Amino acid sequence: MFEFTSSFWSWYIAIPTIAGILAMFWLIRWLSVDHKGKPGEQVETMGHVWDDDLEEYNNPLPRWWLNLFYITLFFGIGYLVLFPGLGSYKGLLNWSSQGKYEQEMQEAEEKYGPIFEEYKAIPAQVLAENEDAIKIGERLFSNYCATCHGADARGVPGFPNLRDNDWLYGNKPEQIHLSIAQGRQGFMPAWKDILNDDQIASVAEYVRHLSGLQTDADMISAGKEVYSNSCVACHGAEGKGNQQLGAPNLVNNIWLYGSSSEQVVKSIRDGRIGKMPPHKEFLGDAKIHLLVAYILSISETSPEAGKSATDD
């Protein structure tokens, strides 16, 4: 069934394409030959008259103009012979966008690969002071990381700020390298089926209290009890988090999804799922090493270091 379906769509594309080209040949031939008047015979008009005596005659196209149509059609035929365009037919040149991409990547690797490998041998902390390496790392960041973390690396809700000193999985070069190379899967379970609304609201206020935010004092005591029973395993007794699990530090007033009561309640009630995709397969260790150096170079350098871009 699969082979039949694939063949069907191939012919579905190829047959109308070929028929369309043949139809264009016939149409041009019909319009330019069949409607010519006989020698000495007055050419008929199309019945359109402007300004009393300006009529449209049924004359054939000028030869040079007609030839342009034929050239266009022959060009199209040549293109379809050389390049893919007729269903599954690959063309005589066997060209493909994937093949072109791989060729360009191979050429880039041959040209720039040795440069990346040279930097790979230098510790990331040292590269973080190297202006040329940082420029390369910044370009890599703009191409592969800015979509999620922002062009200035300050993050957006759900994607960490990379300029502060808060690290879900640690700030050592090897830990950052691991996050980029293998990716991360963050998971905050939903508690709506375990805790009631009052418990969720109270523990949310307690968590906000831990970070120094203004909270409802009457709810803190009840929230602390809920926290001790349900949250300590991941976030720790003092709320400082667990980098082995990627559990956030709750006492530093840096918030991945926002610090408002509504956002904290939502995080506890519905849970959160965050995914950092792995990049090793298409970046390689050498480029990741430069990215690590760039991230180290920008962390804690901002005048507002330590303040998350998602704080409310």
Q: Which helix (H) or strand (E) holds 276?
A: strand 272-276
Say which DSSP state 170 is in: -
In the chain, which ranges are continuous DSSP H helix? 2-29, 63-82, 97-120, 124-127, 131-144, 146-149, 173-182, 197-210, 217-230, 232-235, 261-270, 280-298
pLDDT at 305: 34
Contact 199, 226 (CB under 8 A): yes
Q: What is the pLDDT of residue 149?
A: 95
| 8 A C-beta contact, residue 155 and residue 146 | no
pLDDT (tens place) for every residue of the chain, 312 residues total: 444 456 888 889 999 999 999 999 998 888 776 455 555 566 677 777 887 778 877 777 788 888 999 999 999 999 999 999 988 889 999 999 999 999 998 998 899 899 999 999 999 999 999 999 999 999 999 999 999 999 999 999 999 999 998 999 999 999 999 999 999 999 999 999 999 999 999 999 999 999 999 999 999 999 999 999 999 999 999 999 999 999 999 999 999 999 999 999 999 999 999 999 999 998 999 999 999 999 999 997 433 333 443 444
Is pTM beyond 0.85 here?
no
Q: What pLDDT is stored for residue 42 in this prediction?
A: 66
Hey, how many other C-beta atoms are within 10 angstroms of the C-beta on 49? 11
Report the alpha-carbon distance of residue 248 to residue 81 in Å, rounded.
59
